Amino acid sequence: MSVVLCGISIVAISASCFTVITRCRRTKTQLERSNHILSAEVEKKDATIRTLQKSLSDVNAEVKNTKSLVSSLTRSSDVLKQRLTDAEHELQQARNQNQILDQQMKAQAAAAKLARDEAGRVSLAHEQTRALLKTRTEELRAAQVYLDRADQSSGADVISMIDALNSEIFQTAATVAEAFKFGEKKVEESSEAEVAYDHVIEILGPRMTELLKSTLHHDDQILIQTAFQAAMCAYVDWIVTSWYFEGREEEQMLSSLYAIIQESEEQAVAGRWRALTRRYALQAFREAPDSQRQLLSVVMETLVNILISAGLESATSEVSETMAAQFAEHASTVVEHAMRLNRVIGQGITSCEMMPLYLVPETPFDANVMEDAFGTASKDSTENILCTTDLGLMRMEKKGEQWEKRVLVKPKIILRSGMADTILAEEAH
């Protein structure tokens, strides 16, 4: 039993061993197959590992390069960071400086505004000062002009002009008188003679006009010449003293006003008022620009009327034509001299009053202020004058409340007795 059991056990063991061996073989086969597969896989893995190792080597190289680059970039970054830090610091400093400058600019702008405002005020004040200065300068200049005592002409200049004017009057009167010849007196007078006679009476007075009418002039023209001189002296006196060459009645307002100013103001003020008024009155009141021509026509008309009144046997129109053609230049010179004298003593002299001395007919003779042209009058004579033949000149200056008068040139006059003696002497001769 034991043997059987041993045999069974061996069989069983053999079977188990076979099974084990079979299993081992299968396992081996499987293992070999697996090993082969694993070897293939290992080779693949090795290839992969080699690839990976190569890639790793490449990566390591790249990493190395990258590290080098990173290191370089890090250094650059550090430099840039430092620069950035420095730049930020500089920027902050710039901002601070800019803030300071901005504050300074604001302060300067405020100061500039204040300066501009102040400059504006100063400029305005300057302009106002300039305007005020200009106004005051103009006022001062006007005052200086108005109160200036400096005369443009001296007394000697005016005396010389009076002498020249009297000389022109004498020469014109003599030239015109010699040019006309008189015949016998007519018994009846024409209407033209009556008109002329009335005109001459207004200028020479009735006694002189009656002498012209009644005296025979065919032998001597001394009375005609004297009448011419007297008439021109009368007109020249009016021209020299006229404000704007109108009639005395038209100019009476200015004359009266000036008389009041003379009594109320200093001579400097009154003289400048007279000078300025004389200057501008012509512009304001005189419409005709050719005053000289109009004044000349009046003088010429008077000379013609004297000839007609004296008995000249010609029509007034014919005498006027002859007078204009032959003697207008002579009479124009007289008028021109008179107008110049008007400007000199009316506008150019303000420190005193200069005026021509013309004595109207029938004025009592006074040797202190007049001179007998014929030299026949005594100093004590009280005879009335017949006419004035030469203008005189008087100077008047206000001293305080009084007027100081001085005759610089005595006017020459003719007495009726002196003219009668001269006419008789000429007739006897």
Q: What is the pLDDT of residues 329-369, one digit of tens each?
A: 999 999 999 999 999 999 999 999 999 999 999 999 999 99
Closest CA to 147 of 261, 262, 259, 270: 270
Q: What is the pLDDT of residues 267-321, one digit of tens each?
A: 888 999 999 999 888 888 765 567 889 999 999 999 999 999 988 888 889 999 9
- 66 pLDDT higher than 70: yes
User: For residue 398, what pLDDT band results from cuts at 50, 70 and 90?
Assistant: confident
Phi-psi region of 394 (alpha: psi -120 to 50; beta: other; left: phi over 0): beta
Q: Spell out the residues 6+ positions from residue 186 whose beta carbon is closer than 8 angstroms to its own.
A: 311, 313
3-class SS string, 238-291: HHHHCCCCCCCCCCHHHHHHHHHHHHHCCHHHHHHHHHHHHHHHHHHHCCCCCH
Q: For the chain, what are the domain ranges?
A: 72-148, 155-428
Report the pLDDT value the prediction gives residue 296, as an integer from 0 to 100: 94
Report the pLDDT value the prediction gives residue 291, as an integer from 0 to 100: 82
CA atoms of 21 and 15, how far apart (whole Å): 10
CA atoms of 266 and 263, how far apart (whole Å): 8
Q: What is the pLDDT of residues 113-167, one digit of tens each?
A: 887 887 788 778 778 878 877 776 666 565 565 555 578 888 899 999 999 999 9
Top mean pLDDT of 5-9, 120-124, 148-152, 176-180 is at 176-180
Q: What is the pLDDT of residues 145-159, one digit of tens each?
A: 555 557 888 889 999
